[in-house]
Structure 1
Amino acid sequence: MRVASINGKKYIIVIVDDYSWFTWVKFLASKDEAPDFIIKFLKMIQVRLNMSVRKIRTDNGTKFVNQTLRSYYESVGNSHETSVVRSPQQNGVVERRNHTLVEATQTMLIYAKAPLFLWAKAVATACYTQNRSIIRLLHRKIPYELLHDKIPDLSYLYVFSALCYPKNDSEDLGKLQAKADIGIFIGYEPKQKTYHIYNRFLVAAPPKTVDLADSLVSMSIDQDAPSKNTHMVEKSKLDKDLQGKPVDDTLYRGMIGSLMYLTSSRPDLIYVVCLYVRYQAKPTEKHLNMVKRIFQYLKGTINMGLWYSKDTGMSLTEYADYAGCQDTKRSTSESAQFLSDKLVSWSSKKKKSTAISSTEVEYISLSGCCAQILWMCSHLIDYGFQFNKIPLYYDNKSAIALCCNNVQHSRANHIDV
């Protein structure tokens, strides 16, 4: 994290039990603290839960692969598996949980208009809540129940940033002074039923990079503005707009964060929201007006969403396309997969390198769609569905011809329009 927490922490370690999916989080000031914490954590699990850890799966980072941990694993007989470089999907359970915690934290901080240095408290609260709420479908139980073999008490849970009034027990309290302070709820104490409360008026000022006052500005959008039929201007070529008038980057990021939350159920917003995310560092008035257009579009399509009926077919269909970036010339591949007429999977991803030709970009987009189709087929086959021919629709004849005859790649040329 770029902003240190209120206790000076900048790194997170996420640990997930493979059976129950119970999650632990630990905050570190530096990566050098990771080996010592992992050793202490493994000993704690054996003592408190009376369980032995058989296998440890991590990525290939030096914080997990070093001589200190290697010696400890050999001494206790633990098996250590690492994922291949640049293959996070091999450690998918903890990667997805890490992504879920970060997204939940972002939403909580934006909704609460809380200072950014409270991110560690928000992560811990999200983890604490998810351990007691998300159901493990394989066992029909929550992670806490699977790990501790009992149902947790949920009567003391509160919403993050809820107003709290802790008693003011100061010795020099006057008769006319307030008998209680006003704070916001930011977390739980894991070992006992107590709460963590943040009082912005009594906490000493943190480093200058963070403002104790409300740093998040509320969004000001004209409620009477007419709705839009599209979320972006047709044939819009958005760029960095270096000569444009700068706007408040905190306001811009707050609006983008709210829209990112909607992309899980509104696939029509994925591309345009991800496009505007690129300009969070130095947004201009042009970028802000384009983002406001999305909210005007949502105003007119508030009832739009995904609908899945029970009596649906199982024919698999896929669509693919690509778009280019005006600043870096890198392409963004897009795809959508349908079961009958029901959208079940979609993606929009910007490439890390620039392609030589536009046909090559289209071909790469098609190859990514094919990989997604093969992955979906492998799962559907397990449920007894067989597919002989799967239609893949594309709007570029050159890319289709290249798929049929790979020798044509030497004749592909790039035309910048």
Structure 2
Amino acid sequence: MADSTDRQHADDERFMAVARRLSLRHVGLTAENPSVGALLVQGSGATARVVGRGVTAWGGRPHAERVALADAGADARGSTAYVTLEPCAHHGRTSPCADSLVEAGVSRVVVGAPDPDPRVNGRGVEILRAAGIEVRCLSGEGVVTRPFEGFLQRLRFGRPFVTLKMAVSRDGFVGRLGGERIGISGRIANRQVHLLRANSDAIMVGVGTAVADDPLLTCRLPGLSGRSPIRIVVDPQLRLPLDAQLVTTARSVPTLIASTRNPDGAEAVPYRRAGCRLLRLSGYDRDDLRRLLHAMPSAGVQTLMVEGGPVLAAAFLEAELVDRIVVIRSPVEIRSSGVAAPDGVLAPNNFRLARRERFGDDDWSEWERIEPCSPESSPTLDALPASNL
């Protein structure tokens, strides 16, 4: 009996890994819904065969379970369903996915992670078990949840999942004093950064970086140019040059400017004419950043990549608003006149090393927060109305 259970659990881990890889296909393309993977499998062990595959469709509908059931047809009956997130239990444009699995006659369901949405939150599992279907719930941690970590973060904390990325020289610097632009990371690592951008809803930089580097902040990988994220510049004094690429391309790639200046004032008019949208920012402390983040989900931003310089990075770290840190350690040395990496980037507290890779000459490491930040009540958004987004 123990051997049989072990074999079944081995199958569960194997097929859930496949479902998770499926879910990666539509990350960033499913609107406010999570990108979920679903797999329908007949048999077990060496004779197991996949009869249906599904991933949440572009725009968020239909859900992965329905796509997989349609793919399997009559073969769904008696199968085991592997779903990376608990099947929904609420009525929307369609009936609950949990009901669809019951109606299709699946015999067993393996769930990768619970859904904290109050409309679900265990009810999907209850529907399945009430119908006599065996349900196994996995731990819900680690790589299974990564494709929809922004969705989970929005539900739990009311803000996007924040990834801070920094390239650091061998001698611990992130730039050179005086604003001189210097390339730190190499070509292969830079392509990985563009992939991060493609999987993010928005990317944020401080005005210092925007002025010094004049970046585009788009995804320039072949076939993924349409996946460029919303660009956000934190610019309290509204000093972003009007001829900056972020401004001149604002009609093709959305650009938002968070500033203490009046978004309806005369200073803002040239930016609005160029296609930028302005957000009211009351200041630059931790509460201001939290207000800014809490307003973003209403604009469809569930994952945010902070790619700014040391000032913005330090502000996010100090406010405890960073969920993942990506550090690209380069063999390049800056030596004199270098700008030091912020405290907490090279040796993060309360983070664990989750991934380490070598891309060309660069060392790529990812650090994930060990204990999530405590849930915060959303601050009042009088100073930063969501409608401005």
TM-score by length of 2: 0.29
Q: Which structure would you say has the larger RCO, counting Cα contacts within 8 Å and 6 or more residues apart?
A: 2
Q: Which has the higher strand share?
A: 2
